[in-house]
Amino acid sequence: MTIQQLFLGIDCGTQGTKAVILDASSGEVLGQGGGPHTLISAANGRREQDTAQWLQALALATRQALLDANVDGQAILGIGVSGQQHGLVLLDDQGQVLRPAKLWCDTETSAENQRLLAHLGGETGSLERLGVVIAPGYTVSKLLWTKEQHPAIFSRIARILLPHDYLNFWLTGRSCSECGDASGTGYFNVRTRQWDLQLLRDIDPTGRLQSALPELIDAHQPVGTILPAIAEHLGINPGALVSSGGGDNMMGAIGTGNIQPGAITMSLGSSGTVYAYSDLPKVSPEASVATFCSSSGGWLPLICTMNLTNATGAIRELFDLDLDQFNQLVEQAPIGAEGVSMLPFFNGERVPALPHASGSLHGLTTSNLTQANLCRAVVEGTTFGLRYGLDLLRQNGLQSRSICLIGGGSKSAVWRQIVADIMNTPVICTEQSEAAALGAAIQAAWCTSWSNGHEHTLADLCQRCVKLDLSSETLPIAAHVAAFQQVYERYQQHVATL
């Protein structure tokens, strides 16, 4: 009998925190848990969260997962943390949080982002200097916004952390970051894997921001050992190593085995993302493609849409539908929803780049205005945004033999078929839909293996722990592909008018 090697993977997302317990010896996920978060929202695009909720949700999710796995927390060897990207957490010199965290989906700082983009020399200048085009939602504009809107808070900044960095700091007392998540800050050069210190000095000549930066570590390096008081609070082994962790997309890549070229991961979460592994920083000339670093040593060209299950969720709430009822209605309506088109840009949109857009409905008549068509139109509209992004990645030379689908939306068979048909590519899910939490646990195992003298490579661990759900495999249907192509062209025409 093989001895269990237990690792805890945490994913702090927009809607909640998930935890999984992974046995890296057998590759099995033994238990999982979760805890909810709420958003602080305002009509001006503000999207923030109270970081205390993250800590409560992490503790709740961890205890649930341990209970579900029926294992002793003292057997946990390591912890990996995945976090929503781009968020800004500011701490004072006592390590206390100065204000609610501004999130990836916050567009309140769009004006600051525009000014910073102009300062960098526009999209071309930003690409040349950083390897990415800074977008509304990236961390850098949040810093400028804080300086201008909250000068008293700005003057007390001692640490600038991303959400996953903050959770690592809470777990270990150490302030550091890794290149994958750092890529989405807007003050990090993805080609050289270094902070752009000059850009921070341009925002604040005093050097305060520069001195508040976390130390950069490699993806296979541990942040440190869990603090004794936190270990006790969570009911976990006080000797557990905390790995570098990373952004949710980087951890989702590991959790789907997307660590070599050829695979594409598509996440149907609050936001939609499409990404693929690359050995080289092949920076796309297209502003919407973010060539982030991966958390496995390479790069992760990525597109992100701002509206996915938050948009389908809004329609479900409007009609008071549960998931099954919603999916049945989507299935009842024909491809193209009898002419009803939705541009589901409720949060503004990043791909296509329309930060100030709002949601809109087109093509309504007295005969096609039905619940089923509206449900269908929101799923099609969000999926077309991902198709738009996938086409950009394909233009940059990425192969897409198959798509690995993750996130809440991937559990819907009707949505899987729509994705396969719109992308004209076979789709398959992993057994573990919480791919980011699984990826964080796998990375923790890899990190622990490094500190034990390399017993397992990341590829070994992914091969053992990432399992495809063969029953979910969905192939495109030729007649659907042709029909969707026409509907997609209609969507593109509506987008063009914006």
From 383, 427, 436, select the one nearest 405 (Cα to Cα).
427
CA distance 200 to 191: 18
- Whether 248 sits among the annotated catalytic residues: the reply is yes
From 61, 67, 77, 63, select the one nearest 10 (Cα to Cα).
61
From 297, 82, 81, 87, select the one nearest 186 (Cα to Cα).
87
For 229, residues 6+ apart whose C-beta sits below 8 A from its C-beta are none
Instruction: Identify the three-state secondary structure at position 112.
Output: helix
Count each helix (H run) and each strand (E run) in the chain, helices first: 18, 25
Enclosing H/E stretch for 302: strand 299-305
For 484, residues 6+ apart whose C-beta sits below 8 A from its C-beta are 335, 336, 418, 421, 422
Q: Cβ distance 185 to 236 under 8 Å?
A: no
Instruction: Give me the phi and psi of 419, to 5 degrees please.
Output: -65, -50
Instruction: Tell me the residue type at 317.
Output: E
Instruction: Identify the three-state secondary structure at position 347.
Output: coil
Distances (CA, A) of 235 to 37, 60, 326: 22, 11, 39
The token pair at 68 is 């579900």
Check 248, 391, 421, 469 and give the catalytic one.
248
CA-based max dimension of the chain:
69
Residues involved in catalysis = 248
